[in-house]
């Protein structure tokens, strides 16, 4: 999973990667060459008191050192650029892919998990790439090259490697085998703490209204404790690696000095060779240690890569057509034929046998009890989700065959919970149509009954809007969301319970203004209040995902038990008539 992800995203950086490999190869060979030169100085310069040889060999060592330093610095610079580029590309790929998700995929992953995968998980993979180029490339060359050079100094003394290297490998493998499953658990627990924190920040008013601060604090403490405990377990295991490796290195160094000293004493080995061998042994073990440090990040990066790949491999249930239709033969007409929608794995469909026609210049209201499928029905029209069965046509064209941009321009949706972006009122209103003029913005605000409160703000259209519209009331957010759709001027308007935060007088004024402004458009809206739907041209009554009845207010009140029950739950019979 990790290798496939890196192979895909390292391909654009093939030249830089090759340059890094070459530079690391040169600098590692330089490191390996230095102990041999050092041994030569001791054996042929110091012991023989040859100052000229010492100076010549020392100068060569200085040149080799400068080459090694230059190659190492350049390699690190290029490695950092590649790692940052891979991180940037992964974040961009995740963002672009998630933008194509339908409501089903968004619900499956959840916002907290997607945020963690796009930030923390990508950061872990990015760190691994940097360590791979700076450590993992160097480690095998240093280790294998060190063994070869050590054998060149003294073969019998190299028998120590038969004991030292397996000991190092066993220690590292045992630690990594325990770290890997813990890193996966750690990422899941980071998701959990993000979710809990997001819920508490978003639902702060609800928490305070029900005096549940202690309960939420306990929830966060539990999630925080789980993350801390898992991170500590991972940290403790990783912390064992350094002292274990250092202990083996020091024991090996003592053994080299012990056995090497005896070989020097009996004339089988020169002093410079013992020094060089000790340096090579240190380099071999340093190479293994570099690999160990790098592989400490590998298990967590592997878990993160798996989570990133899970998102990238998820195909949206809403797919753009290969040959999209760019012209609508019946502008403004909406027709739903025998549509059904079922969530994956659900026993029962949310909608079934759904038939509905909405003509231009008409207003269609959708009512029903909670869970009857009202929002799901409206979501089929702009293709936020695709019907599991049946057909949804806008302008005489199946929405599956319609060009996505054309469908977006044709259908304007005001969702149940309107969302405003951080910026200004003007930037929010122009979100769907950036070229809209100020006069058009004010006209939309006037229709949405929002002009008065916007004019009262110190900066008018340039007044700041907090994230999600946090500095505005619920009614103000709803009216601005309605104005935003009016600015785009679609031919089909969908209002999903978009008047719930308005008082009765404002709602009536808004509806009257909408009738004047949208006379030729197709309007479908979901509402809970009977006072909001009674003047609609047609009312569609949903019951358990089916169309129970269709008609005007008076017709349904006289003939539909479901509608009559809804009406009488809000009005007296005299008021209803």
**Is the separation of the CB atoms in 24 and 68 below 8 Å?**
no
Q: What is the CA radius of gyration of the chain?
A: 35
Minimal CA–CA distance to 475: which of 504, 438, 456, 500? 500
Burial 300-339 (b: 16+ CB within 10 A, else e): bbbbbbebbbebbeeebebeeeeeebeebeebbbbbbeeb
Query: What is the Cα–Cα distance from 480 to 185, expressed in whole angstroms?
Result: 43
Structure letter (DSSP) for residue 437: -
Query: What is the Cα–Cα distance from 264 to 256, expressed in whole angstroms?
Result: 11
Query: What is the Cα–Cα distance from 241 to 320, expressed in whole angstroms?
Result: 51
Q: Give the strands of the sheet with 522-526, arranged side by side.
A: 411-414, 492-496, 522-526, 363-368, 538-543, 546-551
Q: Is the pTM of this model over 0.75?
A: no
Q: Which residue has the tokens 């009857």?
A: 372
Tell me: the pLDDT tens digits for 412-453? 999 888 888 889 999 999 998 899 999 999 999 999 999 988
Beta bridge partners of 492: 411, 522
Given its phi and psi angles, is residue 190 left (phi above 0), alpha (psi -120 to 50 degrees) or beta?
alpha
Tell me: the pLDDT tens digits for 1-26? 677 788 888 888 989 989 988 998 88
Minimal CA–CA distance to 354: which of 375, 333, 338? 338
**Is the separation of the CB atoms in 206 and 257 below 8 Å?**
no
Tens digit of pLDDT at every position of the chain (577 positions): 677 788 888 888 989 989 988 998 888 888 888 877 777 777 777 767 778 778 888 888 899 889 989 998 999 899 999 999 999 999 999 998 888 888 778 878 888 788 888 888 899 889 888 888 887 777 777 777 777 777 777 677 767 777 777 887 788 778 877 877 787 788 788 878 888 887 887 778 788 878 888 888 898 899 899 999 988 988 888 778 778 877 887 787 787 778 777 777 777 777 777 777 777 777 777 777 777 676 667 777 887 888 899 888 888 878 888 888 888 898 889 999 999 988 877 778 888 888 889 999 999 999 988 888 888 899 899 988 888 889 999 999 999 999 988 988 999 999 888 888 889 999 999 998 899 999 999 999 999 999 988 998 888 899 998 888 888 888 889 999 999 999 999 999 999 888 888 888 888 888 889 888 888 899 998 888 887 888 888 999 998 888 888 888 888 888 888 888 888 887 777 766 6
**Is the separation of the CB atoms in 507 and 478 below 8 Å?**
no
How many degrees, rounded to 5, is the angle at CA 274 between CA 273 and CA 280? Answer: 85
Q: How far is CA 346 from CA 104, 142, 342, 343, 351, in A?
A: 12, 57, 6, 5, 12
Minimal CA–CA distance to 499: which of 491, 509, 489? 509
Q: How far is CA 305 from CA 94, 113, 145, 489, in A?
A: 12, 14, 32, 43
Minimal CA–CA distance to 119: which of 83, 84, 87, 79? 87
């Amino acid at each position: 999973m990790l290798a496939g992800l890196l192979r895909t995203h390292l391909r654009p950086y093939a030249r830089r990667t090759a340059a890094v490999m070459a530079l690391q190869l040169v600098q590692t060979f330089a490191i390996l060459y230095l102990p041999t030169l050092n041994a030569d100085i001791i054996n042929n310069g110091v012991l023989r008191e040859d100052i000229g040889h010492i100076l010549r060999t020392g100068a060569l060592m200085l040149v080799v050192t400068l080459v090694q330093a230059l190659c190492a610095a350049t390699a690190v610079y290029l490695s950092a650029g590649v790692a940052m580029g891979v991180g940037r590309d992964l974040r961009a790929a995740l963002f672009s892919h998630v933008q194509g998700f339908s409501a089903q995929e968004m619900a499956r992953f959840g916002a907290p998990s997607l945020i963690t995968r796009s930030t923390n998980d990508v950061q872990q993979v990015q760190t691994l790439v940097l360590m791979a180029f700076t450590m993992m490339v160097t480690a095998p060359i240093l280790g294998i090259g060190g063994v070869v050079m050590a054998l060149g100094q003294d073969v019998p003394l190299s028998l120590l490697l038969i004991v030292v290297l397996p000991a190092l490998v066993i220690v590292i493998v045992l630690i990594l085998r325990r770290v890997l499953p813990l890193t996966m658990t750690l990422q899941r627990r980071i998701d959990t703490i993000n979710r809990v924190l997001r819920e508490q920040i978003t639902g702060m008013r609800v928490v305070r209204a029900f005096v549940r601060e202690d309960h939420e604090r306990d929830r966060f403490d539990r999630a925080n404790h789980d993350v801390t405990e898992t991170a500590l377990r991972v940290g403790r295991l990783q912390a064992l690696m350094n002292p274990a490796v250092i202990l083996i290195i020091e024991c090996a160094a003592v053994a080299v000095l012990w056995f090497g000293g005896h070989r020097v004493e009996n004339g089988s080995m020169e002093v410079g060779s013992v020094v060089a061998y000790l340096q090579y042994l240190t380099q071999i073990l340093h190479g293994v240690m570099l690999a160990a440090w790098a592989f400490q990040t590998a298990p967590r990066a592997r878990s993160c890569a798996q989570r990133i790949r899970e998102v990238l491999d998820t195909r949206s249930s809403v797919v753009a057509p290969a040959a999209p239709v760019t012209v609508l033969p019946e502008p403004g007409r909406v027709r739903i034929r025998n549509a059904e929608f079922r969530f994956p794995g659900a026993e029962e469909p949310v909608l079934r046998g759904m038939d509905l026609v909405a003509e231009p210049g008409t207003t269609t209201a959708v009512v029903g009890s909670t869970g009857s499928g009202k929002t799901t029905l409206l979501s089929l029209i702009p293709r936020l989700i695709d019907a599991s069965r049946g057909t949804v046509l806008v302008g005489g064209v199946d929405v599956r065959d319609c060009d996505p941009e054309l469908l977006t321009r044709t259908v304007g949706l005001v969702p149940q919970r309107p969302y405003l972006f951080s910026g200004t009122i003007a930037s929010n209103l122009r979100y769907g149509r950036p070229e809209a003029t100020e006069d058009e913005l004010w006209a939309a605000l006037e229709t949405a009954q929002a002009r008065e409160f916007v004019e009262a703000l110190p900066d008018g259209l340039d007044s700041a809007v907090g994230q999600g519209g946090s500095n505005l009331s619920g009614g103000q957010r709803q009216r601005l969301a309605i104005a935003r759709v009016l600015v785009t001027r679609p031919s089909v308007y969908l209002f999903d319970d978009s008047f719930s935060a308005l008082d009765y007088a404002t709602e009536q004024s808004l509806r009257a203004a909408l009738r004047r402004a949208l006379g030729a458009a197709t309007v479908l809206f979901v509402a809970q209040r009977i006072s909001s739907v009674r003047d609609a041209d047609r009312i569609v009554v949903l019951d358990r995902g089916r169309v129970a009845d269709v008609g005007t207010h008076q017709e349904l009140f006289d003939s539909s038990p479901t509608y009559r029950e809804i009406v009488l739950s809000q009005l007296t019979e005299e008021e209803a008539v």
